[in-house]
Amino acid sequence: MRVLAHARGSITKTVIQKGQNQFNPIIIGFLCTWCSYAGADQAGVSRREYPPNILPIRVMCSGRISPHHILKAFQMGADGVLVAGCHLGECHYIRGNYMTAKRIPVVKELLSFMGLSPQRLGLTWVSASEGDRFAAVVREFTEQIRELGPSPLRGVS
């Protein structure tokens, strides 16, 4: 990765979209298919509005998400990454989400070490019926990323 400072000048034109003064972050969401992806579907079915910044990627279990995938998202320029799985104890694969629960704090430390705010990485649990919760979590996380501003890695590869 090149020096962070390189990016700072160039990002503003794409990040702050035309006609809008608000920073519109790009957030990659890793959602497990059984609970949080289904929960996001439920949010849709019950028309719970949330900001459009999150781009969901479906995986079978949140335990599938390795630090590589998260780092890849930040490397590409994601302003935030949200990992969502089943509530602890409700994993469709018994304990895949426990692996996630252990893994994410480690990745957060790694982000701090790299000079990225660990707040850019979120971990949450949403069940298939919690459409309301999914929308609320995304609203909150998007706001959090907005406050942090654009990722210093935007445009650096």
Among residues 68, 106, 140, 149, the one that binds another protein under rule CB under 8 A: 68
Q: Which stretch binds another protein (CB under 8 A): 71-79, 105-113, 116-124, 141-149?
A: 71-79
Q: Which stretch binds another protein (CB under 8 A): 55-63, 108-116, 118-126, 140-148?
A: 55-63
Q: Does 25 bind another protein (CB under 8 A)?
A: no
CA distances from 34 to 24, 44, 122 (A): 29, 16, 19
3-state SS track over 40-104: HHHHHHCCCCCCCCEEEEEECCHHHCCHHHHHHHHHHCCCEEEEEECCCCCCCCCCHHHHHHHHH
Q: Does 139 bind another protein (CB under 8 A)?
A: no
Interface with another protein in residues 113-132 (CB under 8 A): 127-130
Nearer of residues 92 and 118 to another protein, judged by Cβ: 92
User: In the numeric block, which tokens belong to residue 95?
Assistant: 């304990």
Q: Which stretch binds another protein (CB under 8 A): 86-94, 106-114, 118-126, 142-150?
A: 86-94
Say how far apart CA 76 and CA 157 lie, in whole Å. Answer: 7
Type of residue found at 68: H
Q: Does 135 bind another protein (CB under 8 A)?
A: yes
Which residue from 102, 104, 97, 98 is spatially nearest to 60, judged by alpha carbons? Answer: 97
Q: Which stretch binds another protein (CB under 8 A): 39-47, 109-117, 118-126, 142-150?
A: 39-47
CA distances from 53 to 49, 78, 80, 100, 142 (A): 12, 11, 10, 23, 7
User: In the numeric block, which tokens belong to residue 10?
Assistant: 């160039």
Site size for another protein (CB under 8 A): 59
**Which residues lie near another protein (CB under 8 A)?**
10-11, 14, 26, 28, 33-35, 37-38, 40-41, 43-45, 47-52, 55-61, 63-66, 68-69, 72-73, 75-78, 89-96, 99, 103, 127-130, 135, 154-157
